[in-house]
Amino acid sequence: RPYLWVVRSNNRDDGFDDAGDERGMVVGWCDQVRVLSHPAVGCFVTHCGWNSTLETVEAGVPMVAWPLYADQRMNAVILSADRVGLALWERPPLGKDRAVVPREELTALVRELMEGEKCVVARKMVGHLRMRLRLLRRQAGRRIELSR
């Protein structure tokens, strides 16, 4: 499947862009809201910062939550409990490549959200959250207008 992978330049190893996988594109930056709003996006692998979480819910996109620190872990717990996505938990480095998350595990979660049984549930649940978020924003806007 085609993919877009955003990796800051200072986090790339030498040769990272030359992996030879023609299905994907690796970039240093993108307009996240614009990308998430595109109908071709099937899921989003995110560290689950609050802004990214809201942007993803507003776009109606299921998430693979890969939290690292701070509020990200709590957001990942909430998203997986609400069945809006699946959580990927970091562990002490494993194996000879010292991976904190095996690529097979990430691949399995992305596949599950794209085509597995949890795909339908996650899309439905994120759709409900999307509608609630839009309703709350409209209500907040009205309150702001009335208070002027």
Residuewise pLDDT in 10s, the chain (148 residues):
778 888 777 655 655 555 556 778 888 888 999 999 999 999 999 999 999 998 999 999 999 998 888 889 899 998 888 888 888 887 666 666 666 777 888 889 999 988 888 888 999 999 999 999 888 888 887 554 443 3
* Helix (H), strand (E) at residue 11: none
What pTM was computed for the model? Answer: 0.79
Instruction: Look at residues 30, 64, 31 and name the one whose alpha carbon lies nearest to residue 46.
Output: 64
The SS3 assignment for 112 reads helix
What is the per-residue DSSP string for 36-74?
Answer: HTSTT---EEE---HHHHHHHHHHT--EEE---STHHHH
Neighbours of 148 (CB within 10 A): 4
Question: What are φ and ψ of residue 117, in 5° steps?
Answer: -60, -35
Helix axes 117-146, 103-115, angle to 10 degrees: 80
